[in-house]
Amino acid sequence: MELTDEKIKKLKGKANDIRVSLIEALLAAGSGHTAGPLDMADIFAVLFFHTLVHNPKKPDWPERDRLVLSNGHICPVLYSAMAHAGYFPLEELKTLRKFGSRLQGHPHRDFLPMLETSSGPLGSGLSQAVGMALADKIDHGLTASRRIYALLSDGELECGQTWEAAMLGGKEKLHNLTAVIDRNNIQIDGYTEDVMPLEALSDKWRAWNWHVIEIDGHNMAEIADAFEAAKGIFEKPTVIIAHTIAGKGVKEFERDYRWHGKPPNAQEAAMALSELRTLGGKIKSEHQ
């Protein structure tokens, strides 16, 4: 699908809407993670409104692509993207983390359609995605058209299980698997390169026989092109290392690891929403 200038503007608008909604949800919840959801909004906008094969009216459609959120703590961005795509009403986002809500602090696959896995313990999502991709390849070989997308944080790459899954994915040449790493360089205790250095990250994935694409995780064209390029790789799985700015969209939050695991208070949320809505107005004016 061609990504025109007009479509890029619309995707920017969707990403901003997603950011606004997740800040409102975090404020209502009084708990949750802020930085990761904000910085992944552009990628989720491209996935849900350009790349993914899915149908909100038929969330259990067998031919849908599978999206595995390994870094389940960034679920406010997943929930927000799903709501804006029509999976459930936007108003339900205000129930985030409430007792009895379908929108738990980490996704629970029994609560919402299209949630492929439950996630929370970091490091297990790639293993689940590899299993799905392997099953499809066993069933359909190179003709397997359904794609499996696994979203990971960079901090969770410190978990050994991730590398076991990477080895298996490379060995089995899972062409139908695309992993996306949120390379925002932060985790709850500080900056990744201080806590447990990950570089040279791309070389590690290449060593396990993965096709590596590095992108600006806030450039809509680069994001969409990377997903499209992955579809043309038939001899190995693809990993997209998305270089992102933690807390993207709210200057006060950006690049500050302390926003990894805390929500904004009323004053901080008002500031963030004002900034995001101002940006949203500018984006909309470009359409006119």
- pLDDT tens per residue across span 137-178: 999 877 777 999 999 999 999 999 999 999 999 999 999 999
The 10s digit of each residue's pLDDT in 241-251 is 999 999 999 99
Q: Which of 31, 75, 82 shows the shortest CA–CA distance to 261?
A: 31
pLDDT score recorded for residue 145: 77
Give the range among 1-10, 56-65, 198-207, 239-248 with minimum mean pLDDT: 1-10
pLDDT score recorded for residue 1: 65
Residue 104 CB partners (closer than 8 Å, separation 6+): 75, 97, 111
Residue 89, burial from CB neighbour count under 10 angstroms (0-12, 13-18, 19+): exposed
- Residue 287 Cα to chain centre, angstroms: 26
In this structure, are residues 44 and 52 in contact, taking their beta carbons and an 8 Å threshold? no
Give the range among 28-32, 51-55, 217-221, 284-288 with minimum mean pLDDT: 284-288
Residue 2 CB partners (closer than 8 Å, separation 6+): none
61: pLDDT strictly greater than 80: yes
Rg (C-alpha) for the chain, rounded Å, is 18
Write phi, then psi, for 184 (nearest 5 degrees).
-95, 0
When pLDDT is averaged across residues 260-277 and rounded to a whole number, the result is 96
Helix pair 75-85, 5-29: axis angle to 10 deg: 120
Kind and range of the H or E element at 183?
strand 177-183
285: pLDDT strictly greater than 80: no
The 10s digit of each residue's pLDDT in 186-215 is 999 999 999 999 999 999 999 999 999 999
31: pLDDT strictly greater than 90: yes
Does residue 165 have a cis peptide bond before it, meaning omega lies within 30 degrees of 0? Answer: no
pLDDT score recorded for residue 286: 73
CATH number of 5-287, picked from 3.40.50.970, 3.30.365.10, 3.40.50.1220, 3.40.50.150:
3.40.50.970
